[in-house]
Amino acid sequence: MDVQDQDKPSGPVTVGELEIIVDRDGCIGASACIPPADKTFALDDEGKAVILTTASQEEEADIVDAARACPVLAIKVMKNGEDLV
Ligand code: SF4
């Protein structure tokens, strides 16, 4: 599994025009974010969602859908400084 930023595996990272961050304390490892955007999100060995190098190949709408699918809203997505999720 190749995370985009080894120092900040759960972000914040920039993907295209989006900034993505996963709240690692809030993430419960439910995996709901993975099916909508499996190029972007995966679980690490602590069961926390991380952001992959392949995120740039994902459709923006799918990343937003994935963030909305999180049952505890642990994923935040921003575009041009505006919160999308
Ligand atoms: S859906 Fe939310 S709680 Fe589940 S792995 Fe993704 S970020 Fe974590």
Q: What is the pLDDT of residues 21-31, one digit of tens each?
A: 999 999 999 99
Residue 1: its pLDDT value, please? 87
Total domain count, the chain: 1
Best mutation site among 75, 76, 85 for ligand 1 pocket (most ligand atoms within 8 Å of CB)? 75
pTM of the entire predicted model: 0.96
Q: What is the pLDDT of residues 30-55, one digit of tens each?
A: 999 999 999 999 999 999 999 999 99
Rounded CA separation 44/28 (Å):
12
34 burial class (0-12, 13-18, 19+ CB within 10 angstroms)?
middle
Q: Is residue 7 one of the residues assigned to a domain?
A: no
Q: Which domain holds residue 23?
A: 13-80
| CATH code of residue 24 | 3.30.70.20
Residues 6+ away with beta carbon under 8 Å from 8: none
| Mean pLDDT on 70-85 | 97
Is the shortest distance between the CB of 73 and ligand 1 below 6 Å? no
